[in-house]
Amino acid sequence: MSRPKQAVPQHEERHFRSSQTVRDMVIGMADGLTVPFALAAGLSGAVASSHLIITAGLAEIVAGSIAMGLGGYLAARGDAEHYVHELDREQQEVNTQPDQEAAEIVGIFASYGVSAAQCAPVVAALRTDRKAWVSFMMRFELGLERPQSGRAIKSAATIASAYIVGGLIPIAPYFLAFGVTQALPWSVAITLVALALFGYIKGHYTGAAPLMSALHTLLIGSIAAAAAFLLARAIS
């Protein structure tokens, strides 16, 4: 009697596939936490009106989120245009210089320790499928991934939104406190807590050690905020 076949446990790979979104959130949140904080802290030493600080802070958040979002949009559009340009060039080279492109495949595999004889079946298979051949060259020769559809708008929205959320945190105490001198210590405290919490969450989703990520983000954000604060105080 034959033994029943045992079910082979499936291997589930858990890879984080939203690195670009996290990058956009980091860019927006980091600037949103530090720049409005520095502005509010600098103004706290020059004016005694919370209303003026709130007005200036909100104006900076609006302007900063638009500028950062526009920067993210243009960067993503630039990446997409660069990909299309390189794709057209690679398609032309595959059509006009197939032997040279095939030799480049061998060179790519050689960098991984695979001999020409070992990769010959792969080269032959790719030569029968021009679309797959071009995709292979784009990925492994040029290191380019096809941009996601609507990536530019998504990047702009993510950066701008993260900037707004981050920017509202350090000026929130000025909405609640009775005076500027009372609001500033609270602004410092919640900004530091927000930096640490943001770093912890970022580390959790990117696979890094959450505590180390929190400490790293807190340290870098504190240095940036302190530098901006001292500069704002010196100017004011």
**Entry pTM:** 0.73
> pLDDT by residue (tens digit) across 156-203?
999 999 999 989 998 888 888 667 778 888 888 888 888 888 888 777
Question: pLDDT per residue over 215-230, tens digit each?
Answer: 887 887 777 767 766 7
Total Cβ atoms within 10 A of residue 150 = 10
Q: Which residues of 199-235 are buried (b: 16+ CB within 10 A; e: fewer)?
A: bbbbbeeeeeebeebbebbbeebbebbeebbeebeee
Question: pLDDT tens digits, residue range 11-38?
Answer: 444 544 456 777 788 888 878 888 888 7
In angstroms, the CA 121 to CA 130 distance is 15
CB atoms within 10 A of CB 133: 21
- Cα→Cα distances 228→40, 61, 96, 128, 231, Å: 11, 16, 55, 58, 5
* Buried-exposed string 1-14: b where 16+ CB fall within 10 A, e elsewhere: eeeeeeeeeeeeee
Q: Please name the amino acid found at residue 42.
A: G
> How many C-beta atoms surround the C-beta of residue 116 within 10 A?
13
Q: What's residue 15's pLDDT?
A: 46
pLDDT tens-place string over residues 49-81: 788 888 888 999 999 999 999 998 998 888 888
Look at residue 148 and give its three-state secondary structure.
coil
